Structure 1
Amino acid sequence: MKNFLIFPLIALMLFISTVSCDKDDVQPTIDPGSIDTPADLTAVLNDIYSNSDAPGMAVSVIKNDSVLYQQSFGKATIERNKPYTNQTSQPIGSISKTFVAAAIVKAIEQGYFTLETNINDILPVELKNPKIPDAVIKVKHLVTHTSGLLDEAGSYFQAYHILPGEDISTEGAQLLVGGFGIQQRETMPLADFLASYYYPGGDLYSSENFASTAPGSTWNYSNIATSLAAYLVETATGIDFKEYVTTNILLPLGMTRTAYNMEELNSENMAELYWDKSTPLPDYANDSYPDGSIHTCNEDLAKFLLDMMKGAKGQSATLFSAAGYKMLFEALIPEGIVPEILAENQGVFWFLNGEEIKHDGSDPGTSCNLQFSKDGNSGYFLLTNMDASTDIHDQAYFELAGKVHAAVSAFIQHQ
């Protein structure tokens, strides 16, 4: 069984990149001419959902500065027959990294550091790559996955944990405990987790956490390095990262149903996460929470996407100056460093590929993708509470995502 916490995001990006380029392979049963109206799209998506393994799903479509379509399908909780609605909250996996991106740019605009700042000018304790002790790791290296700081699979598994109070005798809990070694425990503070991973003497410290290549020279997708970037914001500003994001990103956008901690949200609006339709998973968390653990809903995420799209056009000042939005989506590394099949380049965590700007996310029981055109004129996202984290389930999600992509693309063409 493959590493279900790291590699599915890459597989998902590969798949969405493929269907974006070759729509004929994914929409043989969809007639673009038949999806003219929101009602047409609902009918098609309802059919796609009904023939999928997804417990529930949500879709928003934006074009020309308006949310043209927003609908949810299926169940938030199958056992209670609770519908998945536009207010249903769920984690969105690595799409959370785009909120780290927003926090980084906000902190830069507030004057705390720049993309060129050495991370050791911010960190309270110097961090060194033991394989290249003199290497200078800059903020821009963290936000482009070129820092030389790696995710060691075994250690990253240990960041995930079942929350206290959850029943670990259930089939879903035993899948996490027995299959992947995820234990039930309290959450470790972010600073403590990063220290245990990056500093000698830490329980998770290993030479395998570091690459032997110079910062900026190679691309290695890193969840933990993303959380280190979030910790830079926390250290530089003196404000807890969750609080910083809430104050500077969520509240200005009116995202009142979005939070990192589930307990801050109405439990009646939370989606159950599923291994499969008959196997709900227990509530779990991640010590490295900034990289993938924000919880949001269809209505709220559409507000974020709409602002990002307006910002890409230079038409928003809600979160940053025009220069700040430009920084988010500007190619930051030389061509050829990001694997060609994934994207052409990297902005501040955002993937830049041709005319598309995107990010995807996958964790146990949640699989999502989000993308918009580089000109900011059209975009959409898909949220599901289904699993795509192993070979057992990923193809089912990829097929669903491909069909949704084709249907949404056909709808956008007629607007």
Structure 2
Amino acid sequence: MTTLSRILVLSILSLILTLTSCSSNDDGITIPEPSSIKNTADLNAYLQGLVQTSNMPGLAISIVKDDNIVYQESFGFANIQNQVAYTNETINSLASLSKTFVGAAVAKAIEEGYFTLETDINDILPIHIINPKQPQGVIKIKHLVTHTSSLLDNPEVYLAHNYHILQGENITTAGAGFLMNELGIEQRDSYALEEFLAAYFLEDGDLYSSDNFADTPPGNTWAYSNLATGLTGYIIETATGKSFDDYVKENILLPLQMNASTYDISEINLNEMATRYLNDNTPLPVYANDSYPEGGLYSSNEDMGKYLLDMVKGIKGESNILFSKDSYELLFERRLTEGIVPNDFAENHGFFWYFQDGKALHGGNSFGVSTHMEIDQNGNYGFVLLTNMDASLSGNTQNYLALKEKVSKAIIELVEATD
């Protein structure tokens, strides 16, 4: 596919967006530096100006400090063409930020006794998954949650066969043409999670390939894998006897009163959902992915503020809303991959959380959506950023990273000014 050469592969992009900073972009857009942000009014003014002078359609931010949501605001447009404002109630795709909910679901399932970090996944699964390049290797739960399972994303399969445009969407637009003609994404019904994973990981599956596996033993090498995360969701389904989305709803969303959050797009009023943009003039049709646990959660800034607040409290052992103090500690364990790889972010790894520079991090990206969450590892503060801005194309990536860097600086200025 010709466009694949200029798209950062999505299987690693969300990590790059989380951990990389950049102060320039290749469109020549001047992004003002934050300065003298001493209160929320200063931050409002800065962010409003940032949206107006950049190509970010809309953004929403929640900040937690001192066990309170101290800031929750939205700027720009959920839909530019119809001039629909982005609000705290606007529904946004979370992309790979969804993986942190898989981590929380794993922590809950371990607490409930369904399995442990050391459990062989084939002791749970009704289908038997073997890495043909390492047939003696035992893939454990801990390998899935730390991206060390040796199960890989095959980029062309991941893009063209996992993503799909929803039925009923207009496919004559430029945005639809990009997804269909450049990436091979079809308009079709969704496949069941089990059906898709079986097609990808089982030898007789239509999507099976040796390229789906690394020639390295499980637990030996870090390699970000969306589809291994989707498999984690299916393991939770198999172990608990509940669908993954129902398990997350029952054990995470409802206890936190995240009533607007869902994996089921049929539950969403699409007029309340942020349109995803490749650029200001190219809205994308509504799409989804079959491996939905790894990137398919929809939420609002209001709901994500509740989640952020609980994670900030949980990382310092002051919450028991979702599970015990010990399970929060396990969720944010920083030594699960210690010593196996040479880079800092993978050596400091929780359940789909990365630790760098004293912060727990995860970012997300898909076509027309970019998200980010970070928490001070001591629980002093945390923030979440939701946008309907694309960072999948190379130029868009640089623009988003430059904007995210400035937003992060502005937030830290506010946090420090209010100490």
Cα contact 1:344–1:354 (8 A) shared by 2: no
Rounded Cα–Cα distance in structure 2 between residues aligned with 1:107 and 1:350: 17
Cα–Cα, structure 1 residues 338 and 66, in superposed 2: closer, same or farther, change >3 Å? farther
**Which of 42, 45, 57 does residue 43 from structure 1 map onto?**
45
Shift of 1:339: 5.3
Shift of 1:392: 2.8
Cα–Cα, structure 1 residues 182 and 27, in superposed 2: closer, same or farther, change >3 Å? closer
1:90-148 deviations in Å (ceiling 9; x for gaps) = 10111000000011111111111011100001001221111111111100000000000
- When the two structures are aligned, how many residues end up with a matched partner? 406
Shift of 1:269: 1.6
Rounded Cα–Cα distance in structure 1 between residues aligned with 2:140 and 2:208: 21
1:391 maps onto 2:394 in alignment: yes
1:29 maps to 33
Rounded Cα–Cα distance in structure 2 between residues aligned with 1:270 and 1:345: 35
1:129 maps onto 2:131 in alignment: yes
Shift of 1:89: 0.6
Cα contact 2:33–2:406 (8 A) shared by 1: no
Could you tell me which amino acid in structure 1 is paired with residue 218 of structure 2? P
Which is further off, 41-50 or 321-330?
A: 41-50
Cα–Cα, structure 1 residues 262 and 334, in superposed 2: closer, same or farther, change >3 Å? closer
1:146 maps to 148
1:382 maps to 385
1:218-255 deviations in Å (ceiling 9; x for gaps) = 00000000010111100000101111111110000000
Cα–Cα, structure 1 residues 125 and 101, in superposed 2: closer, same or farther, change >3 Å? same
Shift of 1:6: 2.4
What TM-score, normalized by structure 2, do the two folds share? 0.94
Rounded Cα–Cα distance in structure 1 between residues aligned with 2:306 and 2:341: 29
1:13 maps onto 2:18 in alignment: yes
Rounded Cα–Cα distance in structure 2 between residues aligned with 1:269 and 1:125: 39
Shift of 1:343: 5.0
Rounded Cα–Cα distance in structure 2 between residues aligned with 1:50 and 1:120: 52
2:108 maps to 106
2:244 maps to 241
Shift of 1:278: 0.8
Cα contact 1:3–1:153 (8 A) shared by 2: no
Q: How much identity, in percent, do the aligned residues show? A: 49
Shift of 1:298: 0.5
1:55-114 deviations in Å (ceiling 9; x for gaps) = 110011111101111100011111211100000011011100000001111111111101
Rounded Cα–Cα distance in structure 2 between residues aligned with 1:356 and 1:286: 29
1:278 maps to 281
Rounded Cα–Cα distance in structure 2 between residues aligned with 1:228 and 1:297: 26
Gaps of 5+ in 1: 20-25
1:183 maps to 186
Shift of 1:328: 0.5
Shift of 1:306: 0.6
Could you tell me which amino acid in structure 2 is paired with residue 29 of structure 1? E
2:374 maps to 371
Cα contact 2:344–2:356 (8 A) shared by 1: no
1:1-55 deviations in Å (ceiling 9; x for gaps) = 1345223213212324x78xxxxxx998332xx2111111101111111111111
Rounded Cα–Cα distance in structure 1 between residues aligned with 2:33 and 2:167: 46
Cα contact 1:146–1:219 (8 A) shared by 2: yes
Rounded Cα–Cα distance in structure 2 between residues aligned with 1:384 and 1:289: 19
1:2 maps onto 2:7 in alignment: yes
2:71 maps to 69
Rounded Cα–Cα distance in structure 2 between residues aligned with 1:10 and 1:314: 26
Shift of 1:393: 0.9
2:26 maps to none
* Secondary structure in 2 matching 1:362: strand
Could you tell me which amino acid in structure 1 is paired with residue 199 of structure 2? S
Cα contact 2:31–2:50 (8 A) shared by 1: no
Map 1:86-105; keep pairs closer than 5 Å: 86-105=88-107
Cα contact 1:338–1:345 (8 A) shared by 2: no
Rounded Cα–Cα distance in structure 2 between residues aligned with 1:343 and 1:117: 21
Rounded Cα–Cα distance in structure 1 between residues aligned with 2:211 and 2:342: 21
Cα contact 1:338–1:346 (8 A) shared by 2: no
Rounded Cα–Cα distance in structure 2 between residues aligned with 1:340 and 1:40: 37
* Secondary structure in 2 matching 1:405: helix
**Which of 77, 81, 84 does residue 83 from structure 2 map onto?**
81
Gaps of 5+ in 2: 1-5, 24-29
